């Protein structure tokens, strides 16, 4: 059995739970300890199974809870050296282990496959978590779909996939022009259409669930993100995530 859940997903905080019967990992720590505990209780997933936290990059919405979570739970945090060196001091946890993009890290028999991506951070990475013969991807904060992204996506049984913005809402919205350019750039985020293109072209027959993730509050809606994936929704369960509450828990 595998349990997967987005505990938080959005520009104000990101944290994803992937576990089996006895052990689990978190991807990113963009929420504080009390929020983490509250959301895990609400979702019905066990904080006692979490053995490690993997950090994708140093932006505050992915790392602001690292120090407090590490202190309270005495967990190791996995960073690349560049990401750790560019993380603000007040966010740095005490127990740190380093990896290089492309490494496979073993955590109590859970294999965490790491790979680089394009984003405006020092050394951004995404992850595929493998346990019980299944692979779960966490692919957010991606400016462009590289070969590494598409190759890893094609291996997934389920994936947290960025669907950050609707193109019309972004370009006709209130963001200043420089920020619109940043979001839509090759080191920004994936639009609904870009995410759908990745899923429609590279999904394996084994892919059963897509969690639409990092949905912008200003430049997107859940309805627009879901509508973009309507053509594959008969074959894959497509679920939204939220910045305000834990997602549905999927058990595979």
Provide the CATH number for the domain around residue 172. 3.60.15.10
pLDDT tens, 193-215? 999 999 999 999 999 999 999 99
Q: What stretches of 80-119 adopt beta strand conformation (E)? A: 96-98, 104-107, 110-116
Neighbours of 96 (CB within 10 A): 16
Domain extent for 19: 3-241
Residue 112 Cα distances to 70, 105, 194, 211, angstroms: 19, 5, 25, 19
Q: Under 8 Å CB-to-CB from 206, ≥6 apart: which residues? A: 156, 157
Q: Under 8 Å CB-to-CB from 166, ≥6 apart: which residues? A: 191, 192, 219, 220, 221, 224, 225, 228
pLDDT tens, 83-130? 999 999 999 999 999 999 999 999 999 999 999 999 999 999 999 999
Q: Is residue 250 part of a domain?
A: no
Q: Is residue 248 part of a domain?
A: no
pLDDT tens, 32-74? 999 999 999 999 999 999 999 999 999 999 999 999 999 999 9
Q: Is residue 246 part of a domain?
A: no
Total count of domains within the chain: 1
If you ran DSSP here, which 8-state letter would residue 27 be given?
A: E
Report the pLDDT value the prediction gives residue 233, as an integer from 0 to 100.
Answer: 87
How does the average pLDDT of the chain come out, rounded?
97
If you ran DSSP here, which 8-state letter would residue 49 be given?
A: G
């Amino acid at each position: 059995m595998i349990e997967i859940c987005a505990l938080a997903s959005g520009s104000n905080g990101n944290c994803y739970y992937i576990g089996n019967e006895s052990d689990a990992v978190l991807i990113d720590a963009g929420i504080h300890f009390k929020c983490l505990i509250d959301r895990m209780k609400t979702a019905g997933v066990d904080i006692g199974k979490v053995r490690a936290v993997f950090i994708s990059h140093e932006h505050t919405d992915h790392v602001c809870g690292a120090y407090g979570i590490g202190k309270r739970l005495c967990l190791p945090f996995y960073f690349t050296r560049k990401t750790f060196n560019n993380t603000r001091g007040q966010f740095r946890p005490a127990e740190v282990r380093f990896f290089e993009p492309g490494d496979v890290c073993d955590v109590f028999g859970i294999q965490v496959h790491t790979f680089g991506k394009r984003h405006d951070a020092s050394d951004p990475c995404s992850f595929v978590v493998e346990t019980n013969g299944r692979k779960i991807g966490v692919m957010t904060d991606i400016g462009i779909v590289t070969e590494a992204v598409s190759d890893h996506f094609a291996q997934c049984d389920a994936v947290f996939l960025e669907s950050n913005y609707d193109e019309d809402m972004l370009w006709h919205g209130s963001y200043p022009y420089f920020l619109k350019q940043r979001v839509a750039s090759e080191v920004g985020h994936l639009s609904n259409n870009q995410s759908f293109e990745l899923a429609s072209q590279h999904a394996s027959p084994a892919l059963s669930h897509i969690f639409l993730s990092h949905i912008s509050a200003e430049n997107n809606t859940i309805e627009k993100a879901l509508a973009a994936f309507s053509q594959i929704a008969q074959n894959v369960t497509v679920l939204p995530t939220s910045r305000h509450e834990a997602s549905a828990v999927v058990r595979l």
